[in-house]
Chain A
Amino acid sequence: MNKIGIVDSSTKALSVSDDRGTSRRRKSSSPAAGAAPRARVNLWVLGILIGVAALWQIASSTHLIDKKFVSDPLSILTSLGRIFTDATALTAIGQTLYAVVVSFVLGAIIGIVLGFFIGLNATVRAAYFPIVRVLMGIPTVVFLPLLILAFGLSTTAGIAFATLVSFVQVVVNVVAGIDLIDPKYYRVAHAFNASKWHLFFHVVVSGAAPGIFAGLYHGLRNSFIGVVIAQLYISAAGGVGFLVYLWTNNFQIDDAMALILLMGAIVIIVGTSWKFVEARVTSWQQR
């Protein structure tokens, strides 16, 4: 998350534009303390994670909590090892990744195209953007049963659903990104008689880059969540969602937990790296 706070893009557009208005540097509340080094912070984070795991293990071993319901770190680690050699699990992970990638790519393409279409024309924007924003607020999961009606109880329905939840995020963020382009860049380009294509590539695309990046991030994240929700709902779709559901219901908590934490870890690693890359690529933006 950047310093603007957690955003789904509807709020991002608001918070970021407030930030634009005041060019004051934001400083932390304790003036002298900006000095706490990154390494120390990371150490603390690691320490807390290890600490929690240790407490968990102790509570489970001393029967303070019922291992049958929540498992414990050691059992989870054992399960993790098993998962990596288990054909069912690996297939499921593969299915899930496939669905995520397909829905993300589709969602990204539709989202970016629509996003630029809506964002670049003031009238179209005024007409359709509010509708898209509303789409973000409603529980798009309600469309899943409808998509099942159309595509049957299959992976396709899941991919369609994940594409839907994904492209909405992309569109909103792309439009917000275009909105944030400082009008003076347009003026400069005009003053230098830039052609429409020049304008598009050099000003619009670069200027909207943070928005596009944010959109792709949220799009990817929503693709994953969408795929998983579909898998939890449609057992025929297989995948990680189905396995977690199956194992949990069979009281194979160790295995379920292991899979969940594995997926969680992957998501967090991908998400954090993405933020890192985004910060680098858009570092020229003064925020």
Chain B
Amino acid sequence: MKASHLAKVWGLRLLLFAVIVIAWVFGTNVGGISTLILPKITDVLRACVELLGTADIWARIGVTVLEMVIAFLIAASAGLVAGFLLSRREMTGRVGEILLSWGYMFPIVLLYPMFLLWTGVGIESKILYGAVNGFFPIAYNVTLGLRNVEERYLKVGRAFRASPLHTDMVIKMGAARPMILSGLRLGVALVTISVVVAELLGSTTGLGNALQEASTRFNAVDQYALTILLIALTAVLQVIMERALRSRHG
């Protein structure tokens, strides 16, 4: 990766960034796009800073993060346990893989109004929705990973007389680790995205709820500002989890 290459890469990114900013500024100042639709970039940035100064926003951020964390913990533990149990037998494994992949395909978002009905508008429905969304890909990857351990590793286990416990914990979990971790990473993404969707579609608190309220009030500046904050929040959470779940050695 030569210096010139790096320069070109950042050059292109800067170009994209510049185009966006210029288009934005142009659109609002000269281009005549109503500031009701596209507020001035300076206003938005100012609103971001102001919002971050309020206790309310931080309380909301706390709620949203709480929902995401709990939902992920539920999805991950349920997924790991389910995947582990399903992987132990050929039949349960194959049937499990099919059903779990169907669960992943199913448009769970259609069930969200029902979740609201069942558990109310509070954080429970967000956690339930996030957890259900995260569960399927995690469980699927765990099942698949544990069922597809290379025969040669299991052979080593047999040759060296590994106990069933050792075979499960040392060999299978070790071999399946990359796939399990990738399932967990995907789970993180899905949980964070789902929780935000859930908040937008019906909630009383949380950061997504703030965006929804700004939208109802037709407050464009706050909408843009909150969108930026939401993106930043989920990005930060995902980066943290990516680091934590990075596969270290093949």
User: Residues of B contacting A83 with CB < 8 Å?
Assistant: none
User: Residues of B contacting A143 with CB < 8 Å?
Assistant: 227
Are B5 and A126 in contact, CB atoms less than 8 angstroms apart? yes
Are B250 and A18 in contact, CB atoms less than 8 angstroms apart? yes
A264's partner among B95, B107, B117, B250 (CB-CB below 8 A) is B107
CA distance A256 to B99 in the complex (A): 22
Are A29 and B148 in contact, CB atoms less than 8 angstroms apart? yes
B197's partner among A137, A224, A229 (CB-CB below 8 A) is A229
* Interface residue? B205 (CB, 8 A): no
Range for the number of chain A residues in contact with chain B: 35 or more
* Interface residue? B159 (CB, 8 A): no
Are B109 and A228 in contact, CB atoms less than 8 angstroms apart? yes
Taking CB atoms and an 8 Å cut-off, the chain B residues in 196-244 that contact chain A are 196-197, 200-201, 208, 211-212, 214-215, 220, 223-224, 227, 230-231, 234-235, 238
Are A233 and B186 in contact, CB atoms less than 8 angstroms apart? no
Q: Mark B176-197, 1 if CB is under 8 A from A, else 0.
A: 0011001101100100110011
User: Residues of B contacting A1 with CB < 8 Å?
Assistant: 97, 101, 104, 140, 144
Most buried by B among A24, A142, A232, A240: A142
CB proximity of B103 to chain A, nearest CB, Å: 9
Q: SS class of chain B's interface: helix, strand, loop or mixed? A: helix
Taking Cβ atoms with an 8 Å cutoff, the residues of A that contact B are 1, 3, 5-8, 11, 14-15, 18, 24, 26-31, 33, 36, 40-41, 44-45, 48, 69, 123-124, 126-128, 131, 134, 136-146, 148-150, 221, 224-225, 228-229, 232-233, 240-241, 244-245, 248-249, 253, 256-257, 259-260, 263-264, 267-268, 271-272
Which 7 A-B pairs give the minimum distances between C-beta atoms? A127-B12, A139-B196, A248-B113, A145-B215, A33-B90, A139-B193, A27-B151
Taking Cβ atoms with an 8 Å cutoff, the residues of B that contact A are 5, 8-13, 16, 36-38, 87, 90-91, 93-95, 97-99, 101-102, 104-107, 109-114, 116-118, 136-137, 140-141, 144-152, 154, 172, 178-179, 182-183, 185-186, 189, 192-193, 196-197, 200-201, 208, 211-212, 214-215, 220, 223-224, 227, 230-231, 234-235, 238, 250
